[in-house]
Amino acid sequence: MVTSVKWPRLESDILSCMPPAAEECIASGEIIARIKRLHPNDPPERDTINRALERLESDGLVGKTGNSRARVWWRTGRKVISDMARRPPLELAIALLTLQKHAPNHLPSHVISDLEDYFTGADRVLRESPVDPTLMDARAWATKTVRIDAGYPLMSPPISDEILNAVRRALYANRVLSVCYQNSRLDSDEPATFLVVPLALVERGPVLYLVASRERSDRTFRRYQLRLDRFVSAACTDEAGRPDPDFNLNAYVLDNQYFSFFPEAPIRLELRIREDGEIRNLFREQWLADDQEIIEEEGGFRLSATVIPSIELRNLLMERSPTVEVLSPPGLRKEIGEKLRQACAAYSQEPGAD
């Protein structure tokens, strides 16, 4: 938007000299007088100011009526787009489009809205010349990185923009969130309505969760893990929230493993791993715990590690049961064995047989 090298902020100065309300008029002569007062030592000429006004008009930021000295101008109310947003540097353009691709759930909704012009400008920069090798390499970057989840790629359940934006607003501004929520119990037909204070958004595989709290009458806090796809509605209120002062996101997710569903006290897990053929077992490179130990055996190895039992751990052991045998603790070995016997019984019958 810069039209003058000598006065690079001339357009911004003009806008600052105009009435802030949209469509409130100001005469050309008054604008010129105010600009000259802003630059008393080296004021721009009338023609320079008029060229800047015409550029602002072509950008849709101001309007005018009348001729010559009788002309008046006004703001249109359209948002000012900075030069950086119009044409960000190439490196920033790549970073912006990568951010747009990979992290939309991790930014407040108003920040995403404010970045839209930057995303548009970044896309424009990368498409300026179809044959420029530098731009060709930059455009190709988007096709060279991807994030996938471990395990079978399940589809993300849909979340309405209205609900997600309400959650992000309440989280960013520390406001009370009014929630209408349908839990996962089969015997629960009616959604529940309640108030919570958002604490964190957690993206776990294909599912987005809200960690929230609610203060009890005794001043202690109850925490919730709410799947956003189960929200029937959500509204950010004007009431300031009082979040759980003891909440720490890293401790909640990493140390206490609350997203490992139904975590239990740590145990010392012992496994026997069979390695068939020439493929090294996953657990050699991707450890179950920092204190994991491996003892080599013929046809494989034995593994011991301190782990937190959970639904995820049991599912992992079941998933790998053809080559992974639980040796200890006895209770977990018995549980996994019983589930495998149930599965074997089901698969021993023809489909649909009673």
- Read off the amino acid at residue 101: K
Report pLDDT digits (tens) over 262-271.
677 889 999 9
Per-residue model confidence (pLDDT) at position 4: 59
pLDDT in the model for residue 261: 62
Quote the pLDDT of residue 256.
Answer: 58
Collapsing DSSP to helix, strand or coil, 196 comes out as: strand
Residues forming a β-bridge with 325 = 272
Residue 43, class by beta-carbon neighbours within 10 Å (0-12 exposed, 13-18 middle, 19+ buried)? Answer: middle
CA atoms of 211 and 262, how far apart (whole Å): 16
Degrees (nearest 5) of the Cα angle 270, 272, 278?
140
Tens digit of each residue's pLDDT (9 = 90 or more) over 162-220: 999 999 999 988 899 999 999 877 566 789 999 999 999 988 888 899 999 999 989 89
Q: Give residue 96's pLDDT.
A: 92
Q: How far is CA 69 from the centre of its chain?
A: 52
Strand order in the sheet with 192-204: 221-227, 207-215, 192-204, 175-181, 231-240
User: CB-based contacts of 45: which residues, under 8 Å, 6+ apart?
Assistant: none
Quote the pLDDT of residue 145. Answer: 80
184's tokens: 């996962």
pLDDT digits (tens, 9 = 90+) for 292-335: 999 999 989 999 999 988 888 898 999 999 999 999 999 999 99
Highest mean pLDDT among 4-18, 31-45, 136-150, 185-199: 31-45
CA-nearest of 245, 271, 266, 244 to 255 is: 266
Neighbours of 3 (CB within 10 A): 16
CB 11 within 8 A of CB 81: no
Task: Please check the confidence at residue 150 and state whether its pLDDT lies above 80.
Answer: no
pLDDT value, residue 188:
66
The token pair at 85 is 């947003």
| Maximum alpha-carbon separation in the chain | 97
Per-residue pLDDT at 341 exceeds 90: yes
**Average pLDDT in the chain:** 86
Residue 5: pLDDT band (50, 70, 90) is low
Amino acid 141: pLDDT = 85
Q: Is the pLDDT reported for residue 50 higher than 70? A: yes
Percent of the chain with pLDDT over 70: 93
Give, in order, the Cα–Cα distances in Å from 283 to each of 32, 99, 186, 304, 308.
74, 32, 36, 11, 16
Residue among 308, 221, 298 at smallest CA distance from 269: 308
pTM tops 0.85, yes or no: no
Instruction: Report pLDDT for 127.
Output: 87
pLDDT digits (tens, 9 = 90+) for 105-146: 888 887 888 788 889 889 988 888 877 888 888 888 888 887
